[in-house]
Structure 1
Amino acid sequence: MVFSSETFLFLFLPLFLALYYLTPARLRSLTLLAGSYAFYGWWRLDFLGLLILTTLWTYWAGQRVRRSQGRARRAWTGLGVAGCLAVLATFKYLNFFVDSFAALIGTDAAGLGMHWRVILPIGISFYVFQSISYLVDTHRGDADEEVGFLDFAAFIALFPQLIAGPILRFKDLAWQFRHRTHTAEKFTDGMMLFFVGLAKKVLLADSVAPLADLAFATPDPSLALAVSGSVAYMMQLYFDFSGYSLMAIGLGLMMGFRFVQNFDTPYISRSITEFWRRWHISLSIWLRDYLYIPLGGNRVGPVRTYGNLMAVMVLGGLWHGAAWTFVIWGFWHGGWLAIERATGLARATGTAALVRTMIIVLLGWVVFRATSLDQALGVYEGMLGLNGLLPSGAAALAITQESLMALLLCIAVVAAEPWLKRTAVDRMSLSVGEAGLNAVSAVNTVVPTMLTGTLAVLAVLKLAEQTVSPFLYFQF
């Protein structure tokens, strides 16, 4: 089940919210847990069992950590984290390790006697990272608040962000599980965020997806197709993932939770360093707090610092997927982070810095999107004009006016986002008389509501005429 489906919008969500608000406050975590398990089990019941086992293991290990000290505390933390990593390694990386070893000795998995493949459970990267952060925070004393199993299980399985984030940390939500408030204002704000996210996904991301798919499926794309298709993927990934994050944050708000922001206009960044402060913020913070700082961060001299940046980004690449393309993508970003720190480019400003950063990001997205290194090289060759300037044959016929217009619309929205954000803040902070304040308040309420309602109607109409399009980050 996905958020951008009629089943979720018109069956699961209304039914769940009705049951949630009819449930007494003290039992709402139980309703939330049952709803989250139903949401996840809709896909596969057997992998729901894996989620439950991971939850039981993490909670048990966390209790051992909480009640021990010194070496025993470190040992229990290590054991708990090792168990979580074992789950991730088995289900996400076993195929990759087997294929890589087989290729090294000149055969394939079947040649090694392995005629089966491990299926990747949806959302495993997210709930395993949340489990690890809980154990480490408990070890550090950052999650000292005693928690019941029901609340903890609901935290791990929280369906709004279970599949594709944001990555939550229990220390940020523990208090909310006990003391969150439910108001009409919160619910309305959450609903508006949800529909804005849905519009991002359905009206923007899905509309440019055909152009991106065409560019990467064409063996020798022309310069025009390679560039436009790569930019289309750049837009698709942003609006797809930021749309999901907005929908998750909105759903959380409708249930009284405040989740962390996950995107902050990343395509206005003037450096890769700034880009990672704006893109997938919850992952960046997780990598910083649980990998970069424990490795020594920037406190161990410049050479070690550059190595730490590289190691963290390579591991971040592998977190996204078990393939050499993700490893290269991690090296690409880690290398630029090191270069920027060494040269001072991390503090660059101006249009030239923006253009340079977006080119670096775009080139990285090519290998991130490609299913193989050969496919990535084909797109890079096209971007250099080695396959001609304009598409021809079937590729030329497959490019639609609608996809090109959608690409221009996406670029326009990205360019307007900073202005829209500033305008919203300025309107809320206007210093006017009481009558003027009431007028501004009315405008701030009515106009966004009308715009959101329009976007919601358009998104639902678009859903009715297309097949279900899963969110891109489901694969990670």
Structure 2
Amino acid sequence: MVFNSWIFAWFFLAVWIVYQGIGRRAQNLWLLLASYAFYGWWDWRFCSLLLFSTGVDYIVARLLAATSPSHRARRRALLGVSLLSNLGILGFFKYWNFFIDSAASTLGSLGLEANLPLLEVILPVGISFYTFQTIAYTVDVFRGRVEARRDLIDVALYVAYFPQLVAGPIERAQHMFHQFESPRRVDAEQLAGGAFLILTGLFKKIAVADAVAPLVQQAFTSPGDASWTTLATGILLFTIQIYGDFSGYTDIARGVSRCFGIELMRNFEQPYLSRSVTEFWRRWHVSLSTWLRDYLYIPLGGNRCGRLRTYLNLLATMLLGGLWHGASWNFVVWGGLHGVALCVHKAFREWRPLPDDGPAPARGLGVVAGLAWAAASWLLTMTLVMICWVFFRAAHLADSFAFLWGLGSIPLRAGPWVQVASSVAFPLTLVLLLDVPQRLTGRHVFVRGWVWPLRGVFYAFLVLVMCLYQSDVDAPFIYFQF
């Protein structure tokens, strides 16, 4: 059951209607049942994984709450049970064949024959997201930041809440439990804001991401045989596609949840307007980047153990963040490149301290120099991001290098550049149509302050473009595979 389907529309409407007529605890139980029905639509057998993760972490959290802080060994053992259970399940379903294949290839390169056990393991949808979310709960209880909940329904709903179950945002327990435990009555303002987020999310997915998907597929199918124009168009459009696809999902998730009176965190803050890779990761997939910071980077030592250790911690965090996305060396390289870029930028800022979104370093040179510095910073950041996207999107490392090699043959004639620009201009304009007002106003629901006729025209435009550019190609949300 995907957000951009009629079956989900009817499902959401039915859940919402019942939800309005019942009390808080019944609402939580109803949302929990709906969440399991939503997840079981893909494969009901994987609901057992949700139940297992919920049961383990509920018990571990309760035992942690009952254990004195002075009993450190026991508390660490309990936390270890949670981590081993959750990461064990994630590792088996997501990485078993990857590590077996890698080990077999390594042994083969040494001239040793390896008959290692390969299994046909089906990846449960959303397992990376809800695993990280439930780990955050037990770790926060261990640290004393969140009280262990007695109500099993609330804990189960935190793990399985369907608007953000499959592709995030990765929420924190304190934020969600506070809302689950409070009375909720949805008012007209929440409904209007939720409807706008749903509309913009569908717009990004249907009119932007799905519309450019065929050209992206064409570029990445056989990059070694493709022309420079095809490759350049492909990577630019994939940069647009993945943003429209993933931020579109997040907008729909936030909009659906707002209609239930529950707010989800912002997961995207116009990341393609960033002027450094550090700023990019503060604005792209915010829930993951903050999770990696709080539960991996800081426990590794963060920036508290000297400059070299800080760089190693950054690199390790991004390597593991890349591997979180998928069992492929492509994702490891993607994460590693971002890790190196973050280290370089951190070193540059230590040498010449400046805020990421501040003025140009040579302030005395005036406005022109400031604008030139900002433009150069943005162009460098986006070039790096797009190079990394090649590794994210390509099927194999060899395809990634072939893609980059083909991009290196830059034409000197104007014709290919004009062709690329003409292919990218319209979808880019559609993205900026939403991102620029959001950035300028600081509000994702920026139209709420507009007069009704202007709002109506804007809504009609979004719907019209969706109807005109709706693709016949079945393109599931990209982050469902993670």
Q: Distance in 2 between matches of 1:304 and 1:257?
A: 40
Deviation at 1:418, TM superposition (A): 5.0
- The equivalent residue for 1:374 is 398
Deviation at 1:446, TM superposition (A): 4.9
Q: Which amino acid aligns with 1:12?
A: F
Matches within 5 A, 1:206-245: 206-218=210-222, 219-245=224-250
Cα pair 2:20 2:185 within 8 Å, conserved: no
Q: Which amino acid aligns with 2:141?
A: T
Q: Distance in 2 between matches of 1:466 and 1:334?
A: 38
* Residue 143 in structure 1 maps to residue 143 in structure 2: no
- The equivalent residue for 1:192 is 196
- The equivalent residue for 2:332 is 327
- The equivalent residue for 1:469 is 475
Structure 1, residues 328-386: CA drift from partner, whole Å, max 9, x if none?
01110000100111122774651101000000000000011111011101110110118
Aligned match for 1:154, one of 151, 154, 157: 157
Cα pair 1:5 1:468 within 8 Å, conserved: no
Structure 1, residues 261-319: CA drift from partner, whole Å, max 9, x if none?
00001011111001000100010110111011111111111100000000000000000
* Residue 122 in structure 1 maps to residue 125 in structure 2: yes
Cα pair 1:92 1:322 within 8 Å, conserved: yes
Q: Distance in 1 between matches of 2:30 and 2:161?
A: 11
Q: Distance in 2 between matches of 1:272 and 1:441?
A: 32
- The equivalent residue for 1:310 is 315
- The equivalent residue for 1:168 is 171
* Residue 50 in structure 1 maps to residue 53 in structure 2: no
Q: Which range is displaced more, 176-185 or 319-328?
A: 176-185
* Cα separation, partners in 2 of 1:41 and 1:461, compared to 1, 3 Å: farther
* Residue 98 in structure 1 maps to residue 100 in structure 2: yes
- The equivalent residue for 1:354 is 378
Q: Which amino acid aligns with 2:179?
A: Q
Q: Secondary structure at the match of 1:105?
A: helix
Q: Distance in 2 between matches of 1:256 and 1:38?
A: 20
Cα pair 1:265 1:414 within 8 Å, conserved: no
Cα pair 1:222 1:385 within 8 Å, conserved: no
Q: Which amino acid aligns with 1:238?
A: Y
Deviation at 1:145, TM superposition (A): 5.9
Cα pair 1:295 1:308 within 8 Å, conserved: yes
Cα pair 2:39 2:162 within 8 Å, conserved: yes
* Cα separation, partners in 2 of 1:441 and 1:278, compared to 1, 3 Å: closer
Q: Which amino acid aligns with 2:437?
A: L
Q: Distance in 2 between matches of 1:217 and 1:441?
A: 42
- The equivalent residue for 2:61 is 62
Q: Give RMSD over aligned pairs.
A: 2.7
Aligned match for 1:452, one of 435, 453, 459: 459
Deviation at 1:175, TM superposition (A): 1.0
Q: Which amino acid aligns with 1:367?
A: F
* Cα separation, partners in 2 of 1:215 and 1:89, compared to 1, 3 Å: same
Q: Distance in 1 between matches of 2:463 and 2:54?
A: 35
Deviation at 1:415, TM superposition (A): 4.2
Matches within 5 A, 1:418-433: 419-421=436-438, 424=441
Cα pair 2:244 2:431 within 8 Å, conserved: no
Q: Distance in 1 between matches of 2:433 and 2:199?
A: 19
Structure 1, residues 386-416: CA drift from partner, whole Å, max 9, x if none?
8x889xxxxx9xxxx9x98663122224445
Q: Distance in 1 between matches of 2:315 and 2:378?
A: 22
Structure 1, residues 62-119: CA drift from partner, whole Å, max 9, x if none?
1111111232222211211121111111111101111111111229xx9626353211
Q: Distance in 1 between matches of 2:126 and 2:456?
A: 32
Q: Distance in 1 between matches of 2:213 and 2:42?
A: 24
Q: Distance in 2 between matches of 1:139 and 1:306?
A: 27
Q: Which range is displaced more, 345-354 or 85-94?
A: 345-354
- The equivalent residue for 1:24 is 23
Q: Which amino acid aligns with 2:406?
A: G
Aligned match for 2:257, one of 248, 252, 256: 252
* Cα separation, partners in 2 of 1:330 and 1:422, compared to 1, 3 Å: closer
Q: Distance in 2 between matches of 1:449 and 1:193?
A: 15
Q: Distance in 1 between matches of 2:330 and 2:442?
A: 40
Q: Which range is displaced more, 61-70 or 228-237?
A: 61-70
Cα pair 1:215 1:226 within 8 Å, conserved: yes
Q: Secondary structure at the match of 2:235?
A: helix
Q: Secondary structure at the match of 1:421?
A: helix
Q: Distance in 2 between matches of 1:442 and 1:310?
A: 43
TM, length-normalised to structure 2: 0.87
TM, length-normalised to structure 1: 0.88
Gaps in structure 1 of 5+ consecutive residues: 391-395, 430-439
- The equivalent residue for 2:271 is 266
* Cα separation, partners in 2 of 1:49 and 1:319, compared to 1, 3 Å: same
Q: Which range is displaced more, 151-160 or 178-187?
A: 178-187
Q: Distance in 2 between matches of 1:445 and 1:287?
A: 42
Q: Secondary structure at the match of 1:282?
A: helix
Deviation at 1:176, TM superposition (A): 0.3
* Cα separation, partners in 2 of 1:7 and 1:459, compared to 1, 3 Å: farther
- The equivalent residue for 1:205 is 209
Cα pair 1:197 1:245 within 8 Å, conserved: yes
Cα pair 1:187 1:253 within 8 Å, conserved: yes
Q: Distance in 2 between matches of 1:150 and 1:452?
A: 38
Q: Distance in 1 between matches of 2:435 and 2:3?
A: 26
* Cα separation, partners in 2 of 1:2 and 1:461, compared to 1, 3 Å: farther
- The equivalent residue for 2:450 is 443
Structure 1, residues 179-202: CA drift from partner, whole Å, max 9, x if none?
144212112211110111011000
* Cα separation, partners in 2 of 1:425 and 1:356, compared to 1, 3 Å: closer
Q: Distance in 1 between matches of 2:427 and 2:134?
A: 36
